[in-house]
Amino acid sequence: MGIPRRLLLATHNRGKIEEVEQLLGPQGVEIVSARDLGLPEPEETERSFEGNARVKAHAAARATGLPALADDSGLEVAALGGAPGVDTAGWAETPQGRDFVMAMEKVHRLLEERGAPRPRRARFVCVLCLAQPDGGDMLFRGEVEGQLVWPMRGRLGHGFDPVFQPDGHDLTFAEMAPEDKNRISHRARALAAFMRAMQG
């Protein structure tokens, strides 16, 4: 199939845009984001990462006529029955915008209220959907297992990174240099699957 030379990334999230640029830029892929083009963000109506990635990718592909790559990702906490899951961003919503410190405090409070034993297992999940203007699509999934820590540690990354310590590492995602996180993150693993499919 070959790697698209120009790819529309169907997101307005600066952190995700930077992460994908760092991962795909060296492959010679020019990233144009929905933010750059001023595209509206479609309502995420599905109850799975796959469903929401499809909603976003197809909306962007239809609007622009470009192949569009959309990401839906989130944190699944074992002791919370997989929550916040597809509602990860929603847990951070406020009238003034997203507040992930508030969201991390909410997760910690719920775990404390339930007396959840340590280590408090969690995983980050990322599903990518590559949608074509003709309506076809492909899905790619990446996961990284780890545990939640408290208090928050680190100032890098975005979202729940300050409380997530991946297995086999002493640092949280927010304490890792971006190039180190990008070797092991859920998004990196989903993008690696995408790259294998494009090159295969």
Active-site positions? 72
Residue 168's identity, in one-letter code, is G
Cis peptide before 84 (omega within 30 of 0): yes
Q: How far apart are the C-alpha atoms of 55 and 34, rounded to whole Å?
A: 14
Q: 3-state SS string over the chain?
A: CCCCCEEEECCCCHHHHHHHHHHHHHHCCEEEEHHHHCCCCCCCCCCCHHHHHHHHHHHHHHHHCCCEEEEEEEEEEHHHCCCEHHHCCHHHEECCEECHHHHHHHHHHHHHHCCCCCCEEEEEEEEEEEECCCCCEEEEEEEEEEEECCCCCCCCCCCCHHHEEECCCCCCHHHCCHHHHHHHCHHHHHHHHHHHHHHC
| Contacts of residue 48, Cβ cutoff 8 Å, sequence gap at least 6 | 86
